[in-house]
Amino acid sequence: MTTKIVFSGFGGQGVLTLGQVVADIALHQGKEVTWMPSYGAEMRGGTANCSVIISDTVIGSPIVYNNIDILVALNGPSVDKFLPKMREGGLAIVNSSIVTKYTIPTTDAGASILPIDATNIAQNTNNPRGTNMTMLAGILAKTKLFTKQEVESALSRRFKGKDDLVKLNMSSIDKGLEGL
């Protein structure tokens, strides 16, 4: 089985980090995995996205052009760019704190949209930079790609020796799960 995920938002929202965390989880599950970043020259405030492909078999190309299985969109331009590239039955997780213009519960391709009030939830957990982790709650709630324990282990590896940061990010995930 192969799963194609696109994480997208403004630079500084942590979409590249989010993709790295998911790729790390898949790697520790023994899966084949690729992580491919893409960002504008502006960096913070510009556009940023990354593709993560998780597979049981060898991955031919790290680039996701279309047939996206899961889209994690933290801003409006990300929805506009990637939602039309979803596969039928895919899952689009959208930061409804920022993206408010969509009104249709499914795309033309039949992908379902899961809104998460991620920016507001992260701010209410005293972790304004935790919007990306709050969005991760959508993947946890709607897929079986990984468990909450696997996320915590990946965060512990990424933020080695910074237990307070791991707890803060896990709190954002928990609040995201509560909001669903």
Domain regions of the chain by residue span: 2-178
pLDDT above 60 for 108: no
CB atoms closer than 10 angstroms to residue 67: 13
Instruction: Say how far apart CA 39 and CA 127 lie, in whole Å.
Output: 24
What is the pLDDT at residue 57?
A: 96
pLDDT in tens, 75-98: 999 998 999 899 989 999 999 999
**Alpha carbon 140 to its chain's center:** 10
Residue 7's contacts (CB-CB under 8 Å, 6 or more residues apart) are: 15, 16, 18, 19, 22, 49, 50, 52, 72, 74, 132
- Is the predicted pLDDT of residue 109 greater than 70, yes or no? no
136, 173 in Cβ contact below 8 A?
yes
What's the pTM value of the predicted model, to 2 decimals? 0.92
Over residues 99-126, mean pLDDT: 77
What is the per-residue pLDDT across 133-167, written as a single tens digit (0 to 9) for each?
999 999 999 999 999 999 999 999 999 999 999 99
pLDDT tens for each residue of 1-44: 999 999 999 988 999 999 999 999 999 999 999 999 987 665 56
pLDDT on residue 39: 77
Q: How confident is the model at residue 105 (pLDDT cuts 50, 70, 90)?
A: very low
Class of domain 2-178: alpha beta
- List the 112-116 sheet strands across, edge first: 32-39, 47-55, 2-10, 68-73, 86-95, 112-116
